[in-house]
Structure 1
Amino acid sequence: MSAGRLAGRYSLSHPLGAGGMGKVWLARDEMLHRDVAVKELTVPEGTSDRERAEAVTRAVREAQATARLRHPGIVALHDVVVEQDRPWLVMELLRGRTLADAVRDFGPLPPAHAAKVGADLLEALTVAHSQGLQHRDVKPANVFLTDSGRVVLTDFGIARQEGQATITAQGLMIGSPGFIAPERLEGHPGGPASDLWSLGATLFVALIGRPAYEGTVADRVRATLTRPAPAVPGPLGPLVTAMMQQRPEARPEARVAIDAMRQVAAGGPLPPLPVGAAAAPRPARGGGRVALWMAAATAVVVALAAGGFFLLRGNGGAPEAFTAPMDVCALVDSEQVGLVLRTQSPPTARPGSDGDGPTCEWTMPEYGVGVQVQKDSDTVDPWSMTPATARVLMENQKRYWSRHDEIRWSWPEIGVPGSQEATRLPVHDVQGLGEEAFGFELKGSTGRLLSSHVFYRLANLVVKVEYATVADRPTDEDIKQAALSVARASEQALRDAG
C-alpha cells in the first residue's frame, strides 16, 4: 500500500472505528466511484508467528463466511486485498449507529421497534444457519441500525462453519461474556440455538437499557451458568425469557420467534408460545468445565473482597493485567484535584461512562480535569482487555490523533457550551509514564492552549487524562504540567492498588 491506496483502487480516507484486532476505514473505490468500508487487520508488535497466523486466518475466515451470505441483514463483502502480509476486507459502507450506541444515547427501544430489530436479525441468522454457519458473537455492538432503516448483523470474525476446525486454543472463551450461551461456556460447540440465546441477551439490552448479566467477566460467566435471566416487562418479555432458557432444546424455534416478533412489531400482542420443557430444571452438564469456571469466578470474588482489584503479576512484580472493575474517580484524590484546579475546595467527582469506557470528571468555572479508562469497540469493558489489545488500542489512538489537526471542542461545565474550533499541536511521546505514553495539546483561536491530553498504557489498561481551562492565569506550560501531574497520580494509584 502506498499513499493511502490499496490495490491501486481503494483510497483510504480516515478511521471510522477500531477494535482489538482491526481498524475500519472510510475509503473510496476509485474504479466503481463509491464509498466503502475497509477493515484493516492490525497485529500488535511482539505477537508470535503462531498468533499472527491465527489472526490472519480469522480475518480470512470472516471474509469466506461473509462472502457466502446474501441477505439485507448481513453486511456485504465486496473484495479482499492482501497487502503488507495481511488481508484487508472491503465491505459495504453502513451509515447509522450500532444498537449499543443507540441504547446508550437514546435509551431503551420501544417494544415494537425492538421486535422489528429482533425479527430482522433472526432472519439474517437463519440464512447463516441454513448454510451451517454460526455467528457466535451476537451482541449490541455487532448490530448496526442504518439511517435507511436496515438492521444489519456485522463482524463474522469468530463465526464457525459446521465441521470446520477451530483456530483457537482449547479452553479459550470465544465471544463476549454476558452474551455467550450457557452451553458454549461449558465447552460445547453450540449451534443455532446458541446464537438465539445471544440474540435474546441482545434484545434484553435493547428493551431494558442494560445487560441481563453485569459485573466482572467472572460474575457474568457465573451468573449465566447458574441464574435464569431477569424478567423483561412488556409484550416481548415472555419471548426473551424463552430465548434465554438455559437448555437449548427449551428455546423456541427460529420461525416461531420471528413470527411472534413480527406480530409485536405490527402493534399486536405476543402470540402464545408453544408449551415445552422451558420450565424444567436444567440437568448438570460438562461438570469439569463448569467447576473450572466457577472456581475462576470465586477467585475473582475473593480477590475483590480482599482489596478491590484483581491483578495477575509477572515475575518482575509489575501488574500484567487488571481484571476487576474499579472506581475511576478513586484514581485521583481530592488533594491532587485541588492542586491542579487551583482551589482549596475541590469539586465533587462526577463519574460517568461513554462508548470508550468509564470516566470521572472534576469541574468548576473555567477549569476541568477528566480521567477515562478506555476500551476498544470489540471488548465489553476495559478490564476485559489484554496487554496485546491495549497495545493495539494505544497504537490506534496515537495514529488517530496524529491525523486530525482541526478539532471541534466543548466542555459546558467549565464554560465552553458550544463546539469551539481548536488546533491540535503535534502528538509527542511522554517518557516515564506507564509502559508507553503520548500526549498533545489543543490551541484556541487566541493562540493560547485550551487543554492538554495524555494517554498512557499500564499492563492491559489504557488511561486518558485531560486538563482544560479557559482562564487567563495559567500559562501554556502550567496546562501541560497539570495534565501530566494528574496522569502520574492516576498511574501511581493503579500501581499502589497492585
Structure 2
Amino acid sequence: MSGGRLAGRYTLIRPLGSGGMGKVWLARDEMLDREVAVKELTLPEGLDEQGRAEAVARAAREAQATAQLRHPGVVALHDVLVEYGRPWLIMELLRGRTLGEAIAQDGPLPPSTVARIGADVLEALTAAHSRGLQHRDVKPGNVFLTDSGRVVLTDFGIARQEGQATLTQAGLMIGSPGFIAPERLEGEPGGPPSDLWSLGATLYAAAEGVSVYEGSAMERIQATLTLPPRPPHRSGPLAPVLTAMMARHPAARPDPWSTVHALRQVAAGQEAPVLAGQDLTVPGRVGRRRGWLVWAIPATAVVVAAAVAAAVIFWRPSGPPTAFTLPVDVCGLLTPAQVGEVLDSGQPPKGVQSAVEGADRIGVACNWTVQGRGVGVVAQRDSDTPHPWSMTPESAHRLLENQRAYIGKFPELQWSWKEIGAKGPFTAQIGKTKPLQGVGEEGYTYELSAQGRVHTAVVYYRLANLVIQVEFTTLASRPTDDQVRQTALTAARQTEQALRSQG
C-alpha cells in the first residue's frame, strides 16, 4: 500500500505502527503540502456487507464526534475517508514518543513530571466528557509526549459517544486489561469516572515503573475485580492522588477539577490537597459549586436499590445537565409540602416506590395517593437499557418519541387506580398529545377523560438522559379540566426543579 493515494490527496509513505484497531501510516497531504498521520481502521472479521456498512458508518460517526474536540491535549482529526471498503482517519502527525515508550526506556518518571502529564491529560479528557465522549482506553500507549513538550491523548478509535455503539463493541473487549476500571469489567457502560480510574492506573505505571496489576490479561482482569490497587511506593506526594483516582467505587473518586488542581500542586513541588469522593448521603450536594463538571458513580455500578437517594449530573455552567448517572430517588422529586399542595391534603402521604413493567412504560415509579386523588412520577427507560439513568440523551429522546407514537395509536384504554378508589377497570378516552414548553428540554402532555371531563393529566418530559412521566388524577368533579392540567404541570415543574437542584 506504500505509495498509494487516498481521495486523490493523501499519499501513504510508510507504516508507523499497528495494533488491534488497525495500522497507522506516515502520509503526505498533497493539497496542503504537509505530513499527516493516517489511521487505517480494521473492521472485525466475518462481517457481511450490511455489517461492514454499519461498521463504517459507526466509524464515521465516531470520527465526527472526535473532530468536534478542539483541545491541545487531544490529537487533531483532519478528515475521515472510506476507501477500499474501510475507514481511514486523517490526523495531525505527532513527533515524539508515547508515555509507554518513555517508561520502557527510562523507567519510573519523577512524580512531578507524571503529575504534569496527568493534569494535561485530564483536562483533555474533561473536554471530551463535556461533549458526551468517553475515551475508554486511557493507557500509557495512548498518551503521547511530543518533542515540544505537549502532552496529547491519542486513539479515540474506541471512544464511546453517548447514544452510539462503537466500532469495536461487537465481540471485543473495550479497553486494555490492567487499565480498565472495575465497573466496566463488571459489564457497566462506565462514564467519566471510569476514564479517571484508567488515567490513575496510567500515571501509576509512569511513576512506579510497573502496572498496578500485573500478569496475564485474565490475571489483570481478575485482580482488578477482586483486589485493591497495590499501594504506590515511588510516587511520593503523588501517591494519595493516585489512590483517590483509583478508588474501587466510582463515587469515591474525586471530581476532575479538584484532581487537576491536586496534580498541578504536585507538579509544582507542593503537597497535594486531600481529595474526597462524592458524598452520596446528601441529595443534591454535588454540582455547580465547583464549576464545569462533577463526576460520580455510573448508575449500574450500584446493585440497583431503586430508593438510593441521589442523582448525579455532569454539569456545565449554563444549560441543562448532560447526564444523570446515579440511581434517582424518584420519591424525593416531590417534597411532602408539594405533595400536600398537589393532592390538597393537610397530611400528605408518603411516596410508595415500585418498579414498573408494563406494555406502555418501563421504569421506576413513585406514587402518592389519598382517597380520590393521586400523583405519580415515573423515571422511564427503554427495553435495551437496564435502568433509567443508564440511558443517553439520544436514547432518551428516542424513548420520548416512541412513547408519543405509542400513545397516539389508541383512542382509549382500560384504566384503574385502586389506591385512590378507582378499582375499575374503566374505559378512558385518550386525548391527543400536545407539545410541552418550559419543562425539561422537550416534552408533551395528554389527558384521559371519561363522561366528558378530564380526570387525569399526564406530562412527559426529557431532561438530559432522563425521561420523566408525571401523572395527576382526581375522581372529584369539582376541579375543572384546566385545573387538572395545571396541577399535573405544576408537579412536573417541581420534579424538574428537584432534578436540576441536585446539579
TM bracket, shorter-chain basis: 0.5 to 0.7
Structure 2 gap ranges (5+): 281-296, 305-503
Cross-structure match for 1:302: none
Tell me the secondary structure at the aligned position of residue 236 of structure 1: helix
Q: Which runs of 4+ in 1 moved over 6 A?
A: 275-278
Please tell me whether the aligned partners of residues 244 and 251 of structure 1 are also in contact (alpha carbons under 8 angstroms): yes
Task: Give per-residue Cα distances to partners, 1:262-303, cap 9 Å, x unaligned.
Answer: 11111212122237679xxx9x96789xxxxxxxxxxxxxxx
Cross-structure match for 1:264: 266
Q: How does 1:42-81 map to 2 (within 5 A)?
A: 42-43=42-43, 47-49=47-49, 52-53=52-53, 55-81=55-81
Aligned match for 2:255, one of 248, 253, 256: 253
Q: How does 1:91-240 map to 2 (within 5 A)?
A: 91-165=91-165, 173-233=173-233, 234-240=236-242
CA 1:226 to 1:68, structure 2 compared with 1: closer, same or farther past 3 Å? same
Task: Give per-residue Cα distances to partners, 1:185-227, cap 9 Å, x unaligned.
Answer: 1111111111000000101111111111111222111111111
Letter in 2 for 1:86: R
1:60 to partner: Cα distance: 1.9
Q: Distance in 1 between matches of 2:92 and 2:29?
A: 11
Tell me the secondary structure at the aligned position of residue 14 of structure 2: strand
CA 1:178 to 1:53, structure 2 compared with 1: closer, same or farther past 3 Å? farther
1:59 to partner: Cα distance: 2.9
Task: Give per-residue Cα distances to partners, 1:88-124, cap 9 Å, x unaligned.
Answer: 1111000001111110011111011000000000000
Letter in 1 for 2:274: P
1:142 to partner: Cα distance: 0.7
Cross-structure match for 1:4: 4
Please tell me whether the aligned partners of residues 13 and 28 of structure 1 are also in contact (alpha carbons under 8 angstroms): yes
1:79 to partner: Cα distance: 1.2
CA 1:52 to 1:209, structure 2 compared with 1: closer, same or farther past 3 Å? farther
CA 1:94 to 1:169, structure 2 compared with 1: closer, same or farther past 3 Å? closer
CA 1:45 to 1:121, structure 2 compared with 1: closer, same or farther past 3 Å? closer
- Identity across aligned pairs (percent)? 68
Q: Distance in 2 between matches of 1:183 and 1:97?
A: 30
CA 1:46 to 1:231, structure 2 compared with 1: closer, same or farther past 3 Å? same
Task: Give per-residue Cα distances to partners, 1:438-470, cap 9 Å, x unaligned.
Answer: xxxxxxxxxxxxxxxxxxxxxxxxxxxxxxxxx
Q: Distance in 2 between matches of 1:223 and 1:152?
A: 29
Q: Distance in 2 between matches of 1:265 and 1:88?
A: 37
Tell me the secondary structure at the aligned position of residue 124 of structure 2: helix
1:25 to partner: Cα distance: 0.8
Q: Distance in 2 between matches of 1:199 and 1:22?
A: 23
1:164 to partner: Cα distance: 2.6
Please tell me whether the aligned partners of residues 14 and 26 of structure 1 are also in contact (alpha carbons under 8 angstroms): yes
Q: Distance in 2 between matches of 1:162 and 1:257?
A: 24
Q: Distance in 2 between matches of 1:154 and 1:238?
A: 26
Aligned match for 2:245, one of 234, 243, 246: 243
Q: Distance in 2 between matches of 1:147 and 1:159?
A: 26
1:163 to partner: Cα distance: 2.6
Q: Distance in 1 between matches of 2:196 and 2:277?
A: 18
Tell me the secondary structure at the aligned position of residue 202 of structure 2: helix
Letter in 2 for 1:181: A
Cross-structure match for 1:381: none
Q: Distance in 1 between matches of 2:98 and 2:170?
A: 31
Please tell me whether the aligned partners of residues 23 and 40 of structure 2 are also in contact (alpha carbons under 8 angstroms): yes
Please tell me whether the aligned partners of residues 58 and 157 of structure 1 are also in contact (alpha carbons under 8 angstroms): no
Q: Distance in 2 between matches of 1:61 and 1:172?
A: 19
CA 1:106 to 1:63, structure 2 compared with 1: closer, same or farther past 3 Å? same
Cross-structure match for 1:388: none
Please tell me whether the aligned partners of residues 21 and 157 of structure 2 are also in contact (alpha carbons under 8 angstroms): no
Tell me the secondary structure at the aligned position of residue 247 of structure 2: coil
TM-score, normalised via structure 2 length: 0.53
Bigger radius of gyration: 2
Cross-structure match for 1:25: 25
Please tell me whether the aligned partners of residues 145 and 152 of structure 2 are also in contact (alpha carbons under 8 angstroms): yes
Q: Distance in 1 between matches of 2:192 and 2:177?
A: 18
Q: How does 1:285-300 map to 2 (within 5 A)?
A: none
1:64 to partner: Cα distance: 1.5
Q: Distance in 2 between matches of 1:45 and 1:164?
A: 21
1:54 to partner: Cα distance: 5.4
Tell me the secondary structure at the aligned position of residue 230 of structure 2: coil
Structure 1 gap ranges (5+): 289-498
Cross-structure match for 1:15: 15
Q: Distance in 2 between matches of 1:122 and 1:141?
A: 16
Q: How does 1:266-415 map to 2 (within 5 A)?
A: 266-274=268-276
1:53 to partner: Cα distance: 4.0
- Alpha-carbon RMSD across the aligned residues, in angstroms, is 2.7
Please tell me whether the aligned partners of residues 260 and 271 of structure 1 are also in contact (alpha carbons under 8 angstroms): yes
Task: Give per-residue Cα distances to partners, 1:367-399, cap 9 Å, x unaligned.
Answer: xxxxxxxxxxxxxxxxxxxxxxxxxxxxxxxxx
Letter in 2 for 1:22: G
Q: Distance in 2 between matches of 1:79 and 1:238?
A: 41
Letter in 2 for 1:40: E
CA 1:45 to 1:156, structure 2 compared with 1: closer, same or farther past 3 Å? closer
Q: Distance in 2 between matches of 1:177 and 1:20?
A: 14
Q: Distance in 1 between matches of 2:166 and 2:44?
A: 22
Tell me the secondary structure at the aligned position of residue 123 of structure 1: helix
Please tell me whether the aligned partners of residues 244 and 276 of structure 2 are also in contact (alpha carbons under 8 angstroms): no
Please tell me whether the aligned partners of residues 65 and 156 of structure 1 are also in contact (alpha carbons under 8 angstroms): no
Q: Distance in 2 between matches of 1:98 and 1:43?
A: 25
CA 1:201 to 1:45, structure 2 compared with 1: closer, same or farther past 3 Å? closer
Letter in 2 for 1:193: P
Please tell me whether the aligned partners of residues 158 and 166 of structure 2 are also in contact (alpha carbons under 8 angstroms): no
TM-score, normalised via structure 1 length: 0.53
